[in-house]
Amino acid sequence: MYRFRRLRRDERIRSMMRETRLHPKDFMYPIFVIEGEGIKHPVESMPGVFQYSIDRLEEILKQVEESGIGGVMLFGIPQHKDPQGSQAYAADGVIRKAVRFIKEKYPQIYIVADVCLCEYTSHGHCGMVCGEEILNDETLPYLVKMAVSLAKAGADMVAPSDMMDGRIAAIRAGLDQAGLTQTPIMAYSAKFASAYYGPFRDAAHSAPGFGDRKSYQMDCANGQEALREIRADIEEGADIVMVKPALAYLDVLKEASLTFPMPFAVYNVSGEYAMVKAAAERGWIDERRIVTENLTAMKRAGAKIIITYHALDAVKWI
Ligand code: PBG
Ligand code: ZN
């Protein structure tokens, strides 16, 4: 009989046998930056998460710097929205300003700028709209403008989350033309049309005003298609590819990470965070153990980068 338990006898040997170990550099922390002044507004469905105006941003940036995590991911909440999402690429747009502020005050922090229009469009969709249709090719130039504008402002990396076809190639070409050949693209490649994004849409004021995102985000039943999406983004020039959400899609992450020799990111999304927080608040689960277990599972499944709202807590627990 093989005795597996020999190597589980106490923590000394268990810790030597551990196959997966979490490290602060595994994590990226999403931050919601809202236009305005003096704002630190709690997101009700995401306990511990706030919207910050730029003048209050340092409160969280200090914690980020001390934590030693890999970087931050920035989402903007503009005051003014229009059908073209013009604040997404405006010279004085909220994320451009936030990027410049962080670069100046916290140059050590690695900044990933989300590239998508839904926080900036009056209709709340991730692209241009004609009637009820979300246009693909017409949207690409706007995404390119946004990516170039944020990279020029100093973002270290751009992360398109819109799911339009062909956007990675378009953004790569746009960045290169602007001389930004060294700016990497982290592509939300297999982004599923998920109910788990609910709390984020409260946080980012980005719920679609009509219909849903099912004509551009992926059907949650599709694993093979996810591999094709990821392959397409790699061919178009993505530097890092992402699977999103995390927990219900670890099969996709695992298979994709075994298939493609690429750095993989996974997004532990708002709804996943909200469920853990809600159960923990009631004392029904042990938050620290559950979070560590979930994040370990994401890394075990192949994630190189884990984008998570738990990041600042997790570094204290691992
Ligand atoms: C915007 C975007 C969303 C998320 C990241 N970027 C929401 C959406 O697609 O509706 C979700 C993140 C989360 O739920 O934490 N395209
Ligand atoms: Zn979007």
| Pocket flag, ligand 1, residue 269 (CB < 6 Å) | yes
What range defines the domain where residue 30 resides?
20-317
Kindly report, residue by residue over 245-301, the tens digit of the pLDDT.
999 999 999 999 999 999 999 999 999 999 999 999 999 999 999 999 999 999 999
CA of 75 to the centre of ligand 2 (A): 10
In a domain, 2, yes or no: no
- Which positions are annotated as active-site residues? 191, 244
CA of 197 to the centre of ligand 1 (A): 6
CA of 80 to the centre of ligand 1 (A): 20
Kindly report, residue by residue over 230-254, the tens digit of the pLDDT.
999 999 999 999 999 999 999 999 9
In a domain, 5, yes or no: no
Residues sharing a CB contact under 8 Å with residue 36, sequence separation 6 or more, in sequence order: 53, 79
Pocket test for ligand 1, best of 32, 49, 200 (most atoms within 8 A of CB): 200
Question: Would you state the pLDDT for residue 289?
Answer: 98
Q: Which atom of ligand 1 is nearest to the CA of 208?
A: 10
In a domain, 287, yes or no: yes
Which CATH number goes with the domain that contains 156? 3.20.20.70
Kindly report, residue by residue over 157-182, the tens digit of the pLDDT.
999 999 999 999 999 999 999 999 99
Residues sharing a CB contact under 8 Å with residue 118, sequence separation 6 or more, in sequence order: 85, 124, 125, 126, 162, 204, 206, 208
Note if the pTM is more than 0.95.
yes
Residues sharing a CB contact under 8 Å with residue 45, sequence separation 6 or more, in sequence order: 198, 199, 202, 203, 270, 274
For the chain, what is the domain count? 1
| Pocket flag, ligand 1, residue 118 (CB < 6 Å) | yes
CA dist 100 and 155 (Å) reads 8
In a domain, 25, yes or no: yes
